[in-house]
Amino acid sequence: MDNSGVTGKLWDIFCRVIDNYGDIGVGWRLSVGLAARGQQVRFWVDDPSALAWMAPEGAPNVEVRHWTQPIQTEGLAPGDILLETFGCEIDPEFIAAYADWTRARGKKGLWINLEYLSAEGYAERNHGLPSPVMTGPGAGLCKYFFYPGFTATTGGLLREPDLAERQARFDRADWLQQKGIAWQGERLVSLFCYEPPALADLLDQLATGPQATRLLVTAGRASAALYTCILNKNRLHPSWNKRELLSINYLPQLSQHDYDHLLWACDLNFVRGEDSLVRALWANQPFVWQIYPQHDDAHHQKLEALLEMLDAPPAWRAFHKVWNGVNSLTEGKASQQPRLPNLALDSWQQVVTSAGQQLRLQDELVTQIMLFASRHL
């Protein structure tokens, strides 16, 4: 039931696909969540091609618009709420039209910038802050910064109201069979990554036991990285998987729903970026996060903040640091990349379960952003 006080509004949500699919994944989940609560959404995206496999059935009350340069708005009146994802900078002519439209109707506009997810303290400090627009076509409007987050004083996390019910109905064996995966009860591990420096170490660990493992590899950069790594291992150490304890399935591109199913099916999930991190938390299974690398190593602090928020045990912290290439320093120089610590899924499971229980007590992001809109319109 919608008790947000916002009814029948039209949201113009803008998204640019940078070099991966996290931006469009978050933008689409937000659009669908708003539409499911009675809102109308126009989802403007510069490269909508990924939606063909990410959301092949579309969603009611969500209209996908190709965000071209220049923007094509013939016959369209601006919506009630402008929302730009991750500072993607809406076209000046659209901002001007929105400012004129709101003034002509004698109504107050609302312009929201949805920021990146972080457990760092600035998310709490800056969440909801206004930034009056003093110059340019949007002069007189006010932009508000909306920060997703893990605490009650942030904007929360994306989570569908029926998520727990869908998880309870999920049949792992049936889903794996539908995907053509010949599961025989072995441990299942999903791999969604960039190019982690410790990937070869992970393969060695999985191939030497103590139990059989099936690695389910997502399409794109993860598959390419793994394929290259295995070619190199076969050349240098042909017998690295001689006991055949490790088997591998390369998956096709998965819809958002099927990616959830993958996470629910696996005993351990390697995830990357923002959207899959949140989905891994809701999956309630041990996970390892590869944060998007930044040239100035600012991602190291972001990783540390998440591990601190989770109260991660030392073994999990150490595993994350090696997986993300966070080296210790020796005499002012980076030390040699350390070996990947052993998996410790039992203790990791306890942390994930506890964190998930706490996070589910908080209002999820769609509810919070609708309440935010109702206070400012």
CA distances from 123 to 4, 127, 153, 367 (A): 23, 6, 9, 18
Nearest to 348 by CA among 270, 294, 295, 279: 270
CA distances from 53 to 25, 58, 219 (A): 11, 10, 12
What is the DSSP code (8-state) at residue 49? G
CA distances from 189 to 61, 167, 186, 206, 345 (A): 36, 18, 10, 10, 11
3-state secondary structure of 53: helix
Pairing of strands 213-217, 246-250: parallel
Catalytic residues: 23, 274
Cβ-contact 112, 369 below 8 angstroms: yes
- The angle that helices 365-376 and 22-35 make with each other, rounded to 10 degrees, is 70
Cβ-contact 120, 301 below 8 angstroms: yes
Cβ-contact 270, 189 below 8 angstroms: yes
Q: Where are the alpha helices (DSSP H) in 247-342?
A: 256-265, 275-283, 298-310, 314-323
What is the DSSP code (8-state) at residue 65? E
Rg (C-alpha) for the chain, rounded Å, is 22
Nearest to 279 by CA among 26, 34, 24: 26
Nearest to 282 by CA among 313, 255, 261, 309: 261
Cβ-contact 287, 268 below 8 angstroms: yes
